[in-house]
């Protein structure tokens, strides 16, 4: 078993279930926008995730408050949602960076998020974040987002950081492919991108051809008669 973590970037239970059935999914990330997209009251959307996930699957819930006290209060509540494998997702604002340090002191797991530069990610790692959500696609609006995150992988390795990159904000398979190749330890992918990675039409065409040839020769659809 490798250490790579595949996280699904949605709060839609049916999409999570579909990915979970086909792929080996280690958890789910949300953000405020993702929660609103469920169309459910926030408490219900979060409760449904808590109910759905296995204890070994990770849940990352983002804080909404933007001041230190508010972030800490929400982070403590997030940590109490489940006995383990639950992380407060905290944007790397100045207040957020302070909160990440405080969470480390209190033993609350964190995912530093809304990361637009390898430097901010590195500092969040130094503050004690467990995971770093670098926003790959959004970073592409300001330069070469993929390369910036590849740099981050090197920075974390060179400095022996214990924080884990959880690359986020993916819009296509190519971005995911390049970061896996560069050694990203975890990706959070929207369900459509995760499923597109295993959705090449050639596979089904090949299977249909094998089935047709087999049926023609042996007049059945199974290996053994």
Q: Which residues carry out catalysis?
A: 89
Contact of 26 with 166, CB cutoff 8 Å: no
Stretch that binds ligand E4P, among 10-18, 75-83, 134-142, 198-206 (CB under 6 A): 134-142
Position among 133, 139, 186, 194 found at the interface with ligand E4P (CB under 6 A): 133
Tell me which residues in 93-132 interact with ligand E4P (CB under 6 A).
113
Q: How far apart are CA 83 and CA 105, in angstroms?
A: 18
CB of 103 to ligand E4P, least distance (A): 17
What whole-number distance in Å separates Cα of residue 17 and Cα of residue 2?
Answer: 22
Q: Where are the beta strands (DSSP E) in 39-191?
A: 58-62, 86-91, 110-115, 131-134, 164-167, 186-189
Site residues for ligand E4P, window 183-212 (CB under 6 A)? 188
Measured from the CB of residue 96, what is the shortest distance to ligand E4P in angstroms?
A: 13
Count of residues binding ligand E4P (CB under 6 A)? 11
Q: Write out the two tokens for 61.
A: 């819930």
Q: Does 31 bind ligand E4P (CB under 6 A)?
A: yes
d(CA 198, CA 23): 9
Which residues sit at the interface with ligand E4P, rule CB under 6 A? 9, 29, 31, 113, 133, 135, 137-138, 168-169, 188
């Amino acid at each position: 078993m490798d250490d790579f973590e595949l996280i699904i970037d949605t709060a839609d239970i049916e999409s999570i279930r579909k990915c979970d059935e086909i792929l080996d999914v280690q958890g789910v990330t949300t953000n405020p926008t993702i929660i609103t997209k469920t169309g459910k009251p926030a408490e219900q959307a979060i409760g449904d995730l808590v109910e759905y996930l296995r204890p070994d699957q990770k849940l990352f819930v983002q804080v909404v408050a933007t001041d230190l006290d508010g972030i800490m209060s929400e982070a403590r509540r997030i940590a109490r949602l489940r006995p383990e494998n639950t992380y407060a997702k905290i944007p790397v604002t100045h207040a957020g960076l302070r909160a990440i340090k405080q969470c480390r002191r209190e033993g609350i797991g964190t995912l530093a998020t809304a990361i637009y530069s390898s430097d901010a990610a590195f500092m969040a790692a130094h503050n004690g974040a467990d995971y770093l959500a670098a926003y790959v696609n959004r970073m592409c609006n300001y330069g070469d987002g993929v390369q910036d995150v590849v740099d981050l992988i090197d920075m974390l390795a060179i400095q022996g950081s214990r924080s884990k990159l959880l690359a986020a904000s993916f819009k296509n398979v190519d971005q995911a492919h390049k970061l896996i190749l560069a050694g990203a330890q975890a990706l959070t992918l929207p369900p459509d991108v995760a499923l597109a990675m295993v959705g090449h039409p050639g596979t089904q065409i090949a299977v249909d051809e094998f089935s047709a040839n087999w049926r023609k020769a042996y007049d059945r659809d199974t290996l053994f008669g």
